[in-house]
Amino acid sequence: MISPALTDALARWLDHCRALAGAAENTIKAYQTDVLGFLAFMTRHNGEMQGLGPISQIAVRDMRSWMAHERGRGVGARSLARELSAVKSFYRWLSEREGFEPTAVLSTRSPKFQRKLPRPLAEDAAVAMIDTVELQARAPWVAARDAAVVTLLYGCGLRISEALGLTGADAPLPAALRITGKGGKERIVPVIDPARDAVQAYVAVCPYPQQPAAPLFRAIRGGPLAPRAVQKVMEQARLQLGLPATATPHAMRHSFATHLLSAGGDLRTIQELLGHASLSTTQAYTAVDTARLMEVYDKAHPKA
């Protein structure tokens, strides 16, 4: 349990993250879950309700106990690093307002983990994926719908939530889309002809009328198309193509970025197209490109 004062403080911090930091709602929920989990552990660990007083007295040994507990229940290094980041952010904000010393929490080292590089598809595999998703559907309009969604992911670099967030008002697709991404950040995304054509082909055969406020992409019964439906059809297609499990909807977005980079696109432009808040996020694609270059080099270089 946590005290009413601490509950109120947590709510105010989340409002701060939402309003000033521009965090997306899914991020806010993750922050809340992570901090509440931490406070629940401290309640059990110290045997008392956590309020503004007790949490200001948390020591290094308490932090070590919490991290050991999390690892003991199977939390991986990456997830624990995310939890610790949320806890530190909350403590930094709270200590500034309550006037206590947060060093024990803020000095806790994040567990080390190896950052995973994006796993894009090869260009021919990305095109084959678009062609093959059409073969999974029984109804022609569903086939056209699935092909249109996957084409948007690869051709425009959209997140699946962004593609499925399009409405009837967006059709026919313009030369550029105004997309609202994570954290409410807007960006302008050029629409290539194949993506525009694929969406128009779907609209032409969709049995449900396109209404400005209704979802552009419809489920079988006319409701909004769920991300899981796209994930499932891509799972079926990748099995047919012999592609790895990493061939997901998000991999199509990764492929968009990597192939642009390979074609000579600059990182700053790709960052804007993807809607990354930080250039460091986009820079992961340089590692992908270098890794691919070295792979080609190793295969082609004559061995002694």
Report the catalytic residues.
159, 182, 250, 253, 276, 285
Per the CB < 8 A criterion, the answer to whether 246 and 119 are in contact is yes
Tokens of 258: 């990597």
Question: Tokens 């709270």 map to which residue?
Answer: 94
Q: Tell me the C-alpha to C-alpha distance, in Å, between residue 202 and each of 128, 152, 157, 236, 237.
A: 19, 12, 19, 20, 19
Residues 72, 77, 83: CA angle, nearest 5 degrees: 85
Closest residue by Cα to residue 261 from 273, 244, 251, 247: 273
User: What does DSSP say about strands 176-180 and 186-190: parallel, antiparallel, or unpaired?
Assistant: antiparallel
Closest residue by Cα to residue 87 from 24, 136, 38, 148: 38
Q: Which helix (H) or strand (E) holds 177?
A: strand 176-180
Distance, CA of 16 to CA of 23 (rounded, Å)? 9
